[in-house]
């Protein structure tokens, strides 16, 4: 069940904080996303991808708040859901993170990385929904050709490898 695998500790912020403060927090806590909540209710999720998109559109993010760039149409999951269903939901929605909610209140977060760490046999199901997208020599996300970990990838000697395998 999702409740057995989800991370119970997640970082949440109010939707009105600045993007720069959110990025500082993401770096400090070493996380790739922040849950946006207002009075305990899920309002959105801010991911590294959202920040990169905002940077590509507007170089100066000094006066931008997270609710202006976050993902608001969020796919969530219940803690009682089956792990296989969660992976299918991730594949269908193309989200690698699913907030785990009960009555719109976030109680945890389930990431594709967490699922694959616990049940690596779900790798093939998860892999089907993701395409590699090239941006220069950096691939936004995909499966490493060397260690088969789902991560940000780099093109090295005609192979797509994660940061760890790049060195």
Is the pLDDT reported for residue 33 higher than 80?
Answer: yes
Could you tell me what percent of the chain has a pLDDT over 70? 86
Q: Are residues 62 and 96 in the same domain?
A: yes
pLDDT confidence of residue 137: 53
Same domain, 31 and 13: yes
Share the mean pLDDT of the chain: 82
Residues 135 and 72 in one domain: no
Looking at residue 122, its pLDDT comes to 57
Q: Are residues 108 and 136 in the same domain?
A: no
User: What is the model's pLDDT at position 91?
Assistant: 81
Position 90 pLDDT exceeds 70:
yes
**Exposed e or buried b per residue across 75-92, where buried means at least 16 C-beta atoms within 10 angstroms of its C-beta:** ebbebebebeebbbbbbe
What's the helix, strand, coil split of the chain in %, to 5?
Answer: 35, 30, 35
Q: Which domain covers residue 136, as residue numbers?
A: 131-166
pLDDT confidence of 125, banded at 50, 70, 90?
Answer: low
Residues 5-34, mean pLDDT to the nearest whole number: 92
């Amino acid at each position: 069940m999702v409740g057995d695998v989800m991370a119970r500790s997640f970082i949440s912020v109010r939707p009105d904080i600045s993007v720069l403060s959110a990025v500082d927090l993401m770096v400090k806590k070493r996380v790739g996303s922040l849950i946006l909540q207002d009075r305990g209710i899920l309002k959105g999720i801010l991911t590294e991808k959202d920040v990169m998109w905002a940077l590509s559109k507007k170089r100066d993010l000094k006066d931008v708040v997270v609710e202006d760039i976050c993902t608001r149409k969020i796919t969530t999951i219940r803690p009682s859901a089956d792990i296989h269903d969660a992976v299918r939901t991730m594949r269908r929605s193309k989200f690698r993170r699913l907030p785990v909610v009960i009555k719109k209140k976030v109680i945890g977060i389930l990431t594709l990385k967490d699922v694959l760490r616990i049940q690596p046999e779900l790798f093939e199901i998860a892999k089907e929904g993701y395409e590699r997208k090239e941006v220069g020599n950096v691939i936004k996300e995909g499966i490493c050709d060397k260690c088969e970990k789902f991560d940000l990838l780099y093109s090295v000697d005609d192979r797509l490898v994660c940061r760890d395998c790049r060195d």
